Structure 1
């Protein structure tokens, strides 16, 4: 599905991993935030603020310092169900948390993000480039149903007599 002619949503080898491919331009962070908000809503994550902040920081870094298209992938960790954000580009540069500099007008994003997420890191891609990932802690809303819960009849397993 195209988004304003600038983004292409496609699935990778694993169709369960929502993927957004973006051109490297100043629209990329906004489109990545919207993509994350829609996906988190589908997963029942009602507070997406931290996710939007993280995906914006990683996408902005890929836009400003990376090369080639920006690929955003979102998935739930198979061990604990928490969301993981991956942003990749084909550039060779490594993201680095800058030392504190009160006079600097930029360069604090990774430092801030590192304090807010459960974990983050960088993985080199064999085909070139890198993936920067961050794992969040989010509360998922359990879907409610309008169907009544069946009550076991006396004599059936689970029945209270």
Structure 2
């Protein structure tokens, strides 16, 4: 990577790229490293909170489609357009656009203990709501990076 980014300390790299195990245990480590980078870039608490939610949702989706013992890659980049977070995985399947948000009624959820966590599907809706923009970039090896740009 070359060239300086306006308003960014040249001693602080403008991109963080971290290959990680496709495991829920990686989410906390990724957030710790990304948060330190966001702090070094002067990002405020509210923006870091949004970034945390976005990163957690993107990682959960990537982990879900990656085979056991596989790897994902976490990206955090600052450029003239702002800050983008992304997670790459080896699955070529594109995520589905989130459905429009509707008001849920208690009867819409299956709250039995054995199905309590099966009421998901809100991850990309959360990302879309918190991000200025988001998208998917296919990778040459057949995988993809799902990314979101933080609101300014």
Q: TM-score, normalised by structure 1?
A: 0.69
- Asked whether the 8 Å contact 2:19–2:73 carries over to 1, the reply is yes
Number of positions where the alignment pairs a residue of Structure 1 with one of Structure 2: 124
For residues 31-87 of structure 1, give each alpha carbon's deviation from its aligned partner in whole angstroms, at most 9, with x where no partner exists: 222122111011111321011110110011101123431101111123x3x110111
The whole-number CA distance in structure 2 between the counterparts of 1:97 and 1:70 is 21
Q: Which has the higher contact order (CA 8 A, sep 6+)?
A: 2
CA distance in 2, matches of 1:97, 1:66: 19
* Aligned residues of 1:97 and 1:108 also touching (Cα < 8 A): no
Establish whether residue 57 from structure 1 lines up as the match of residue 63 from structure 2. Answer: no
Structure 1: segments with no counterpart, 5+ residues: 1-12, 139-161
Contact map agreement 1:32 1:72 (CA 8 A) in 2: yes
- The equivalent residue for 1:144 is none
Check the 8 A contact 2:130/2:151 in 1, yes or no.
no
Q: Highest CA radius of gyration, 1 or 2?
A: 1
Q: Distance in 2 between matches of 1:135 and 1:61?
A: 17
Cα distance in structure 2, aligned partners of 1:90 and 1:137: 27
Which one has the bigger helix percentage?
2
TM-score (structure 2 length as normaliser): 0.73
Counterpart secondary structure, 2:142? coil
Match of 1:33 in 2: 31
Structure 2 unaligned regions, length at least 5: 3-12, 110-118
Instruction: Choose which of 63, 66, 73 in structure 2 pairs with 1:71.
Output: 73
Q: Aligned Cα RMSD in Å?
A: 2.0
- Secondary structure (helix, strand or coil) at the match of 2:31 reads helix
